[in-house]
Amino acid sequence: MLKKLKRHLLNWFVSNYKHRKRAGFQNSVEQALASAYRQIERSKYAFLVSQGDRFPDARLIEPLFEKDGFVFWIGTSPKSRKVEQIKKDSQVTLAFSNQKDNSNLLVKASAELVDDIALRAQHWKPYWRLFFPSGPKGDDYLLIKLNVKEIEVLDFSQNVVPEPFGLKPFHLVRSEFGWKLGG
So where are the chain's domains? 27-181
How confident is the model over 87-98, as a mean pLDDT?
97
| pLDDT exceeds cutoff 70 at 154 | yes
Q: Are 135 and 97 in contact (CB under 8 A)?
A: no
Q: Are 152 and 106 in contact (CB under 8 A)?
A: yes
| Reported confidence tier of residue 20, pLDDT bands at 50, 70, 90 | confident
Q: Are strands 103-114 and 91-98 parallel, antiparallel or unpaired?
A: antiparallel
CATH topology for the 27-181 domain: Pnp Oxidase; Chain A (2.30.110)
| Reported confidence tier of residue 120, pLDDT bands at 50, 70, 90 | very high
Closest Cα to residue 171, out of 29, 52, 68?
A: 29
Burial of 123 (0-12, 13-18, 19+ CB in 10 A): buried
* pTM score of the predicted model: 0.88
How confident is the model over 113-138, as a mean pLDDT?
96
First-last CA distance in the chain: 47
